[in-house]
A = this chain, B = another copy of it.
Amino acid sequence: MNIFDSIVKPTLLLNGAAARANIQRMAAKAAAAGVSFRPHFKTHQSREIGEWFRPHGVEAITVSSLDMAEYFAGAGWADITLALSANVRQVAQMDDLAGRIRLGLLAESPETVAALARGLRHPVDLWLKVDTGSGRTGLAWDQPAALIELARQAAALPSLRLRGLLTHAGQTYTAPGPAGAAALFATSAARINQVRAALQAAGLGPLLVSVGDTPGCSALDRFEGADEIRPGNFVFYDAKQYLAGACRFEEVAVALACPVVALHPERGEAVLYGGAIHLSNDALAWQDGRAHALAALPEGAGWGQPLPGCAVTRLSQEHGILSMPPEQLARLRVGDLVCLIPAHSCLTAQAMGRYLTLDGHWIEMMRA
């Protein structure tokens, strides 16, 4: 049976073969480059998809919440970095988990380091969060004094095993293309190594450097200055990554199948059942404005090429408005399915909560 016949409402499709190939490729690249591969599991959030990494020798992972760490620890993952500055209100729960697995935590302030030292009975790996230019979080790379002070504080505490410096070069997500992402990655790596050298000179080290962002890791084959990479989004990629040249369209592994509920040729729009609660309302730059997804049509057991000139340009809670040139709109009928390629697959997966593979098998995700 064709899976599309069974779909009556917004459904997140997963091309498992594409996802497995994405995993294989990134793992092979990390191995060839001689860096550790600690993939971020926040994108898929699924025990079953997590298993697809094991044949490639992956034993250590990254997550973005303690709940997610618990979920994957329950699936047998025994070396997990929680790559969000540690939330000191969860010290008791982190300590409990640290008694069961090797847990890595992040800190960027003396208050956090002190609270961890007070609250943890079991040792954890500690990474200092460095801001190499994304301006989101972490201590600024160009003010090493604060990092030296934090490293000194941590190094003196027996429950904290100071492992290294960690950054997320989120700025690569706005790079215009692979060369730009590679350049930003290189700048970020150079900056964090400058911090490493300053710490080394202050007698603190040796320290590892952990980096990770899908655009940079996709653009590069070598990861100069990094000991570990932590990309996550690459497992599925998405419309942003495709348009930025980080992947080929065939490498995008998820699409949201949505029924057409109305057609408005007079304004070049189809109304889809599928809105912000399904796609998330993350957006990418599109023509003169923003779009939330590209669109394709079902084709065989999957979806075809992106429909030229078509994008979801507006979302409400349950509706998506798909802007289409007349010749594309003419191909649709009320009740058809359209496969939306989300701007940002991590948030769409989170919103949908499970996947339907192209061979008709449901894959569950963690539910908070």
Contact = CB atoms under 8 A, between A and B. Distances in A.
A317 B216 CA distance: 19
A95 interface: no
B335 A111 contact: yes
A175 interface: no
Contacts of A350: 277, 317
Interface string A302-340: 000000000000101111010000000000011101000
A93 interface: yes
Interface string A269-303: 00101001100111000000000000000000000
Contacts of A347: 276-277, 281, 317
A136 interface: yes
Interface string A254-276: 00000101111011000101001
Interface stretch (A25-33, A82-90, A198-206, A217-225): A82-90
A170 interface: yes
Interface residues of A, number: 57
A42 interface: yes
A346 B87 CA distance: 27
A112 interface: yes
Contact of A87 (B64, B109, B259, B267): B259
Q: Is the interface of A mostly helix, strand, loop or mixed?
A: mixed
A291 to B, nearest CB: 14
Contact of A7 (B8, B67, B89, B353): B89
Contact of A84 (B86, B261, B282, B368): B261
Contact of A136 (B84, B281, B319): B319
A45 to B, nearest CB: 10
Most B Cβ at <10 Å: residue of A64, A135, A170, A273 = A273
Contacts of A318: 42, 64-65, 84
Contact of A261 (B9, B87, B170): B87
A313 to B, nearest CB: 11
A75 interface: no
Interface in A25-69: 42, 64-67
A271 B85 contact: yes
A124 interface: no
Contact of A8 (B9, B84, B87): B87
A364 B90 CA distance: 23
A282 to B, nearest CB: 6
A334 B136 contact: no
A90 B8 contact: yes
A363 interface: no
Contacts of A316: 136, 170
A137 interface: yes
A108 B8 contact: no
Contact of A319 (B7, B86, B137, B266): B137
A137 B280 CA distance: 20
A229 B266 CA distance: 29
18 contacts: A8-B93, A9-B66, A9-B89, A64-B317, A86-B261, A87-B261, A87-B335, A88-B259, A88-B335, A108-B262, A111-B333, A111-B334, A112-B261, A136-B271, A170-B316, A281-B282, A281-B347, A351-B351
Given A84-B318, A317-B347, 10 more contacts: A9-B66, A9-B89, A87-B259, A87-B335, A88-B261, A89-B259, A109-B262, A111-B335, A115-B335, A136-B321
